[in-house]
Amino acid sequence: MKKKVFVFFPDGVGLRNFAFTDFKAIGEHMGFDITYWNNTVFSLKEELGFQEVKIEDHSSHKLLPIFSRARKRAELNVSRDKFNDSVYPTYKFPFSYKGLKNTFKSVYTKLLIGLYSSEVGVVKLRKKINALERSTSKYAYCKAQLEQHKPDLIFCTTQRATQAISALLAAKDLGIPTVAFVYSWDNVPKAMQVVETDYYFVWSDLMKVEVLKYYPYVKDEQVIVTGTPQFEPHFDNSLKQSRAAFFKAYNLDENKKYICFSGDDETTSPLDQYYLEDLANAVRRLNAKGENLGIIYRKCPVDFTKRYDAVIAANKDLIEVIDPIWKPVGDQWNQVLPAKEDFKLLYNVCEHSEFVTNVCSSTVFDFVAHKKPCIYYKYEQPQLKKGIRDIGQNYNYVHFRSMPSQDAAVFCTDKKDLEAIIKNILEGKTSNVEEGLKWFEIVAGKSPTRASKNIWEAIKKIL
């Protein structure tokens, strides 16, 4: 009898890894009966022909946002005190006191933080959150679905979605094993483990150490290193287009060498447009000296601002815009969902660019998988003023401490050096590829091409 696994999407962030890769095909080949338990607005049945059970009740307890925020800040306070490290407060977003409602929420949250900022307190706070979510109609709704369909295991595609809490509690209360996949390389130190499950699948040994470090109630045998399907497409040569075909498809000049500028979200890099402008100015100077360079601008998929428009318009002879193939299906950031075609696009942007530049993005790993360097901007813009976030704090975050050395990326610490760095990379005098590949292995694990198979093998072992 085939084991029935519910692949649970509490939001859209897991679609890229677990719907658009070969993840499902690999699982079915290994003999699993796979149903997608779908809490998103994206229809897996209509779009991909997948078997799905839709969750139509999206209710959560009205106090959940307050308690969740308090839980996160309390955990960060515990980490600050336990590890004597001032980086943890920098993960906090400021409170809002605009209007009576926001003021009440902020005051209530601060009261909870004051009461529960200890290891014991955090556990109590998590229990209170669970009690709130067990009282919702969604909990009863999900429990009824599970009783009807009787899955053998729930695989939750992200650990960071509050929409997952009630559904996973329903599974646990019915004795169904639950697994959460830790979604991103920076999530563990940032107190983004929202759900509690029987097992946690992580990218690497590094991430396993982090889960056990930050969550002492989690046992060693509950954390399984699988890798992440996120980078698997970069090793799929069937996605590769010829240079001529790719350049023709996106109106690029075959006589030019292109540098990719990978845009950031507004929170991470609020002045990101000025780094694109600096790159354009450096490229213009190099072209005046005999180079023939262009820029591919690939925006952050969840950035809908107009902040780059003026720079792009002023440099339309240099900058070609190739947007990621993502589709908004709602008005929230996590309702902007990738299309399967974006794997091929990203593969070929990496393959046919000379290198990538950005502010602290994980695209360093996408490009290093293609043996292409990455420049990280690490200088402030003159437009920085009070109330605008300093990008320098990004590089102090815990996940950047995983670098094997400062050579794992090419850091540009002064705008005046950018032109020379670009020239040195083009001439092969400067590169982060060797150290970047070591960093990639530290973060993404030793078998980036086997992650989907590793996940199914781990599920098989659990069952």
* Domains of the chain and CATH, by start: 4-60+136-227+448-462 (3.40.50.2000), 64-131 (no CATH), 233-444 (3.40.50.2000)
Say yes or no to pLDDT of 302 above 90: no
Report CA-CA distances (Å) from 346 to 21, 220, 261: 14, 36, 13
The one-character DSSP state at 383 is: T
C-alpha to C-alpha distance for 184 and 89, rounded to whole angstroms = 20
Would you put residue 163 in left (φ > 0), alpha (ψ -120 to 50) or beta? Answer: alpha
Mean pLDDT lowest among 176-180, 333-337, 448-452 = 333-337
Report CA-CA distances (Å) from 42 to 17, 52, 233, 351, 445: 15, 11, 22, 30, 30
Give the other-Cβ count within 10 Å of 181's Cβ.
24
Q: What is residue 41's predicted lDDT score, i.e. its pLDDT?
A: 87
Report CA-CA distances (Å) from 23 to 233, 335, 366: 11, 21, 19
Q: Among 435, 365, 358, which residue's Cα sits nearest to residue 394?
A: 358
- What mean pLDDT is reported for the chain? 95
Q: What is residue 330's predicted lDDT score, i.e. its pLDDT?
A: 62
C-alpha to C-alpha distance for 131 and 399, rounded to whole angstroms = 32
Beta-carbon-side half-sphere exposure of residue 168 (alpha carbons within 13 Å): 29
Give the 3-state secondary structure percentages of the chain, helix then strand then coil, rounded to 5: 50, 15, 40
Query: Does pTM surpass 0.85?
Result: yes
Mean predicted confidence (pLDDT) in 403-411? 97
Say yes or no to pLDDT of 120 above 60: yes
Own/partner pairs, 123-129, CB within 8 angstroms, 24+ separation? 123/217, 125/67, 125/70, 125/71, 125/74, 126/71, 126/196, 128/67, 129/64, 129/67, 129/68, 129/71, 129/165
C-alpha to C-alpha distance for 356 and 309, rounded to whole angstroms = 20
Question: Which ranges in 238-340 belong to alpha helices (H)?
Answer: 243-249, 272-288, 309-314
Q: What is residue 356's predicted lDDT score, i.e. its pLDDT?
A: 98
Say yes or no to pLDDT of 387 above 90: no
C-alpha to C-alpha distance for 339 and 345, rounded to whole angstroms = 10
C-alpha to C-alpha distance for 65 and 48, rounded to whole angstroms = 33
Which residue matches tokens 């699982």? 27
Are residues 218 and 212 in contact, defined by beta-carbon separation less than 8 angstroms?
yes
Give the model confidence (pLDDT) of 270-284 as tens digits.
999 999 999 999 999
What does the angle CA 274 – CA 231 – CA 367 come to, to the nearest 5 degrees? Answer: 40
Residue type, 315: N
Residue type, 418: L
Say yes or no to pLDDT of 66 above 70: yes
C-alpha to C-alpha distance for 195 and 456, rounded to whole angstroms = 21
Say yes or no to pLDDT of 310 above 70: yes
Give the model confidence (pLDDT) of 187-208 as tens digits.
999 999 999 999 999 999 999 9
Give the other-Cβ count within 10 Å of 155's Cβ.
29
Mean predicted confidence (pLDDT) in 345-367? 97
Strand partners, 410: 375
Task: Give Cα 366 distance to the centre of its chain.
Answer: 13
Q: What is residue 338's predicted lDDT score, i.e. its pLDDT?
A: 74
The residues near 332 (Cβ < 8 Å, ≥ 6 apart) are none
The residues near 257 (Cβ < 8 Å, ≥ 6 apart) are 291, 292, 293, 294, 354, 426
End-to-end CA distance of the chain: 13
pLDDT above 70 covers what percent of the chain?
98
